[in-house]
Structure 1
Amino acid sequence: MSVSPWLKSPFTDLTAGLISHQWYGECADMEMKVLECFEAYGLDKGLKKCDLLIQDFRECSLRHKQMKRMVAMRNERHRQAWNGERSKEEKYAKGPAPDSY
């Protein structure tokens, strides 16, 4: 995770915001905390001192745990349908009625 680009030019200044979460992202606050931590400790020490913040930010942006949970629930539903504990028609819960939002 690098804080500044290897080659600095006006083009990198213009495109720097495209790879951040600051444009209406729900992880914007976490990203700012990580960057402030890096600013306080520097990049080398910051990788060690800010490790928990970095892990939280990665989870917020990549959602590994959420995807593993979703796959586990889907696999459990498939297992139940395969073993006959749940009917194949009712494998998933019914969706909301039309115009119920």
Structure 2
Amino acid sequence: MAFKCMENINAFLEAAKQLGVPPQETFQTVDLWERQNLNSVVICLQSLGRKADKYGKQSIGPKEAEKNERMFSEEKLRAGQTIIGLQMGSNKGATQSGINFGNTRHM
């Protein structure tokens, strides 16, 4: 009986791979059979749930991202190199005023 169950788990894994589940998101048969690494089993099921949308079924979890390549001209790329982005922050007001090292406590 155990051999048949292991065969069923293996058949599920093969079907999941054919449906597009990446190898790093699958689990080994013993992970489920011996209940050793159930986290990897859940990851596989979630990955399979994300792929269900491609086959007209209701998906589980977030929608899988689609590739969206953008092509920029050399002129736009050069123009972008001269701009200081807002992520860099600002150095306005970056002083050490108000910092007192070694000052005695005033009680």
Give the TM-score band, short-chain normalised: under 0.3
Q: TM-score, normalised by structure 2?
A: 0.27
Q: TM-score, normalised by structure 1?
A: 0.28
The structure with the larger Rg is 2
